[in-house]
Amino acid sequence: MSGRIETAITSYTADTSIWTRTTWWCSVLAAALALSVTVASSAGPVDISYVSIAAIVADSVTAQLSRFGAPATSLFNGPSHYETIVVDVRLPRVAVAAVVGFALGASGAVMQGFFRNPMADPTIVGISSGAAVGAVAVIVYGLTISIQLAAFTGALAAAFTVYWLATENGRTGVATLLLAGIAVQMFLGAVVSYLIYTSDDESLRTAVYWTMGYLVHRDWSHVSSSLPVVALGFGVLMVYARDLNVLVLGEEDAATLGVDPQHTKRVLLAVTSVVTAAAVAVAGVIGFVGLIVPHAMRLIVGPDHRILVPTSAFAGAVFLVTADASARLLLQGDALPVGIVTALVGVPFFLYLLRRREVVRL
């Protein structure tokens, strides 16, 4: 970044209140999200124009709202199966990607602050591994409960175990939590490997795909089961964003500034765990979104979590929607797991940040 831009940003930062900046950035990112959703919904074998997609989306949104008395629009007057393709096939997948990206971006920003470590990731307390054990067990043994519920339960059980292991006399040490998380992840990883080893050919394929980020065959039920949890959790995280800012200074400092460190840590850990678990349960294990996106946003908007958490959430949604769409657009196929794309895009970007030493400084 050139010195001039930096100066401009600094003076802009100093003169503008945090909420004005947050609103401004979130509006920009929400617009980018709308754009990426539109572009992503156009990706597929049937060629549907952006204008048609926008019209279809507008129509279906107003149709939903008309239940509350708002007037319904009918902007789209093309072939009716286009509506089915967009509304029932493409949009659910895009919406799931957006919700999951949003959840991972927000949780990642919070976890990096929580651990005071830019290498932290929302899955660091064993959430992905726990979810994988639940989902893969259902797939391999053909259990009758849904994969989503099993993954969600597995994720929370793993997170709670890690928390329990790291807590002594009501105090949870951040370093202990990190180490306990790594240990539990390794153990659960072995469990997943064993489950996959004992599986037959067909379930093997599904199980492995699931652990690579699974956005295929998503429908609106996946959105309606994850979105409320993510939205509610995000609200709580925003309320605690200022406490998290103070907590980053260290627990003793935070305590003298009026933050109860143990209480705040418990809330943050519980909420990010639930939000991340809800995301992983509908989308499988998707790496790097929760790591890279908050990083990049911190370089752009600064370390204040009141702006970092919401912008990371929106940017995470944009990133995941775009990554999934680009896989479909470039490969003309449906099945490429999105986790592969995020890693392929994310790792070079991460290394670029690392070389610029920004990561080291954070």
Q: Which residues are at the interface with other proteins (CB under 8 A)?
A: 10-11, 13-14, 113, 116-117, 239, 242-243, 245-246, 248-250, 252-253, 255-260, 298, 302-304, 361-362
Distance of alpha carbon 215 from alpha carbon 237, whole angstroms = 26
Whichever of 67 and 361 has its CB closer to other proteins, that residue is 361
Q: What are the tokens at 129?
A: 């591994």
Whichever of 7 and 49 has its CB closer to other proteins, that residue is 7
Whichever of 189 and 302 has its CB closer to other proteins, that residue is 302
Please identify which residue in the block is written with the tokens 């949009």. 91
Distance of alpha carbon 340 from alpha carbon 323, whole angstroms = 9
Give the phi and the psi of residue 203 in degrees, each rounded to 5.
-70, -25
User: What is the nearest approach in angstroms of other proteins to the Cβ of residue 267?
Assistant: 13
Whichever of 5 and 14 has its CB closer to other proteins, that residue is 14
User: What is the nearest approach in angstroms of other proteins to the Cβ of residue 237?
Assistant: 13
**Residues facing residue 172 across a β-bridge:** 167
User: What is the nearest approach in angstroms of other proteins to the Cβ of residue 296?
Assistant: 14
Q: Which of 105, 120, 55, 102 is closest to 82 using CA atoms? A: 55
User: What is the nearest approach in angstroms of other proteins to the Cβ of residue 101?
Assistant: 23
Give the phi and the psi of residue 173 in degrees, each rounded to 5.
-80, 135
User: What is the nearest approach in angstroms of other proteins to the Cβ of residue 261?
Assistant: 8
Whichever of 168 and 252 has its CB closer to other proteins, that residue is 252
Q: Strands 167-168, 171-172: parallel, antiparallel or unpaired by DSSP?
A: antiparallel
Please identify which residue in the block is written with the tokens 């499988």. 284
User: What is the nearest approach in angstroms of other proteins to the Cβ of residue 92?
Assistant: 35
Number of helical H runs and strand E runs in the chain: 17, 2
Cα→Cα distances 88→74, 147, 343, Å: 18, 21, 28
What's the gap between Cα 186 and its chain centre? 22
**Residues facing residue 171 across a β-bridge:** 168
What's the gap between Cα 183 and its chain centre? 23
Whichever of 174 and 223 has its CB closer to other proteins, that residue is 174
User: What is the nearest approach in angstroms of other proteins to the Cβ of residue 252?
Assistant: 5
What three-state secondary structure class fits 300? helix
Whichever of 149 and 242 has its CB closer to other proteins, that residue is 242
